[in-house]
Amino acid sequence: MTEKDDFDLQNFLPYLLNQAAEESSLAFQQVYKDRYGMLRTEWRVLFHLGIYGRMTAKEIGTRSKMHKTKISRAVARLGERRFLTRQQDIKDRRLEYLELTHLGRTAYHDLLTVAQTYDNRLSASLSPDENKVLRQVLRKLAKMG
């Protein structure tokens, strides 16, 4: 992409990434939305706790790069619906440890199965090399500024 006139929106990386991201998450979104009435921020918090275990909102923020207000709201909603419990740290009362309840773990495992199936389906449409390169490059891009 050096000539001005050659420019194609379909080759502009941020645009292309966005299209692929949107398209590829649509079907999964349908599941967590229809089955549990969750938003994207909410399944993300659920998965962070499901995968990495008990942690604070701050830690979720560091790992996911989501803004703290998003996390705060997602946690509040997941708490109301009994998907997680919140427990204040006694030493530092600003901190709250979040942990999935039985209900939360059940939802997590259910969605995990869906996610895995879904990811496998996406992977299957790509060659082994495409898969490897894609994930590797995406991780690189996700880290840049």
Partner DNA sequence: TGTTAATAGTTGTTTTTGTAACTAACAACC
Partner DNA sequence: GGTTGTTAGTTACAAAAACAACTATTAACA
The residue ranges that bind a second copy (CB under 8 A) are 1-2, 4, 7-28, 44, 47-48, 51, 65, 109, 112-113, 115-116, 118-120, 122-123, 125-126, 129-130, 133-145
Q: Rule CB under 7 A: say whether 95 interacts with DNA.
A: yes
For residue 7, the partner it binds in DNA, a second copy, none, with Cβ less than 5 to 8 A by kind, is a second copy
CB of 72 to a second copy, least distance (A): 19
Spatial CA neighbour of 86 closest among 104, 77, 99, 71:
99
For residue 126, the partner it binds in a second copy, DNA, none, with Cβ less than 5 to 8 A by kind, is a second copy
| Residues 49-68, interacting with DNA (CB under 7 A) | 56-58, 61, 67-68
Contacts of 114 (CB under 8 A, 6+ apart): 28, 31, 32
Helix/strand/coil (H, E, C) string of 4-16? Answer: HHHCCHHHCHHHH
Q: Rule CB under 7 A: say whether 76 interacts with DNA.
A: yes
Contacts of 109 (CB under 8 A, 6+ apart): 50
For residue 124, the partner it binds in a second copy, DNA, none, with Cβ less than 5 to 8 A by kind, is none
For residue 1, the partner it binds in a second copy, DNA, none, with Cβ less than 5 to 8 A by kind, is a second copy
Maximum C-alpha span of the chain? 63
Token pair listed for 119: 């990811």
Q: Rule CB under 7 A: say whether 41 interacts with DNA.
A: yes
Angle between helices 40-52 and 13-36 (to 10 degrees): 80
Q: What is the binding site for DNA (CB under 7 A)? A: 39-41, 56-58, 61, 67-73, 75-76, 91-96
